[in-house]
Amino acid sequence: MRKLIKSIAAIAATAFISISLAACAPATSNEITVVVHDSVVISDELLASFKKQTGIEVTLVKAGDTGSMTNKLVLTKDEPLGDAVYGIDNTFASLATKNGVIDGDLTAIDYGDVCMNYDKTWFSTNEQAAPTSINDLIKPEFDGLTVIENPTTSSVGLAFLTATISVFGDSWWQGYWSSLKKNNVKIVASWEDAYYTHFSGSSGKGKYPIVLSYSSSPAYEVRDNGESQTEALLDACYRQTEYAAVLTNAKNPEAAAKFVTFLRSAEFQSTLAENMYVYPVIDGVKLPESWAQFAPTTDTPIGGELDVNTNREAWLKAWSALFAG
């Protein structure tokens, strides 16, 4: 048994050395690494198609939610985690650009409306009226029913924070969040955790029937009866745009730039709705039929008038103080 353990240890050590050497080895002209947030879905078929077209092999590295990913890119900008990034959004874009993370420009790839969603089945089963606006979430009857992403780590959470500042203004946005806290809102790190683990209306079958997600999310909760189990509140939605870019100090910037261009191709854009719940930025891309009924964009997105770049740090500091402890 001891010999077996030693053998396993030796194999593990050799594997570690091999991985370490591979990670440190200089990239060749036909290899790139693309840093993405955890919600990005790019199929093996798409990566194979890109390789067939260009000869470039792509490795994806997931780096947490958008906020966490952007902070990691800032901390590693001198020795970047990859050659390109996909998934920095308009709430965190300036953090990347002002810290010199981006080589050149950010290129818009997709967009979506960040809105509260609720589980219609839960409210029907519990014979309770569903919320009709974000103002309802602080009422006693909705105590302990809402899960929201942390704005310090999640771009979805920061989008909603921005929306609340737009709705309630400097005079009461902190009061609104204090009321949410008193109403036992659950704060989690990422969209995946909120939607798939804690939300009752998705695959996670959690205990919270209200979640911060996207206006398009109900299109993926359509059941056998042809109706969606969920619905989005369109009263306070923030329009989120996601970007791709070449990273400063990339080993293969030319190859990385080709991949950014590929992300705006019709081939890739046509997969966004099905794979990532978001809208393509290129006009004319066909959307799933269910989106017309169950994935509407809001007619009046809010928060765009606010200077997120200038105020982000102060907003997050104030929000963190409210939820400290």
Residue 17, domain member (yes or no): no
Looking up tokens 């008193």 gives 182
Looking up tokens 């036992």 gives 184
Q: What is the pLDDT of residues 255-265, one digit of tens each?
A: 999 999 999 99
Same domain, 219 and 273: no
Same domain, 280 and 302: no
Residue 48's Cα: distance from chain center in Å? 24
Specify the pTM.
0.83
Residue 5, domain member (yes or no): no
Same domain, 149 and 224: yes
In total, how many domains does the chain have? 2
Ranges of H-type helices in the chain: 2-24, 44-54, 66-75, 93-98, 120-125, 155-182, 191-192, 253-263, 266-269, 272-276, 291-294, 308-323
Same domain, 49 and 88: yes
- Domain containing 39 equals 28-111+240-294
Q: What is the pLDDT of residues 107-132, one digit of tens each?
A: 999 999 999 999 999 999 999 999 99
Same domain, 44 and 190: no
- In sequence order, what are the residues at sequence separation of 6 or more whose Cβ sits closer than 8 angstroms to the Cβ of residue 232? 113, 115, 116, 117, 213, 214, 215, 216, 217, 218, 296
Same domain, 123 and 181: yes
Residue 21, domain member (yes or no): no
Same domain, 95 and 128: no
Q: What is the pLDDT of residues 147-205, one digit of tens each?
A: 999 999 888 999 999 999 999 999 999 999 999 999 999 999 999 999 999 999 997 68
Residue 209, domain CATH = 3.40.190.10
219 and 291 Cβ atoms separated by less than 8 Å: yes
Looking up tokens 């590295």 gives 61
- In sequence order, what are the residues at sequence separation of 6 or more whose Cβ sits closer than 8 angstroms to the Cβ of residue 108? 241, 242, 243, 281
Q: Is 254 left (phi over 0), alpha (psi -120 to 50) or beta?
A: alpha
Same domain, 124 and 264: no
Same domain, 213 and 260: no
Same domain, 51 and 90: yes
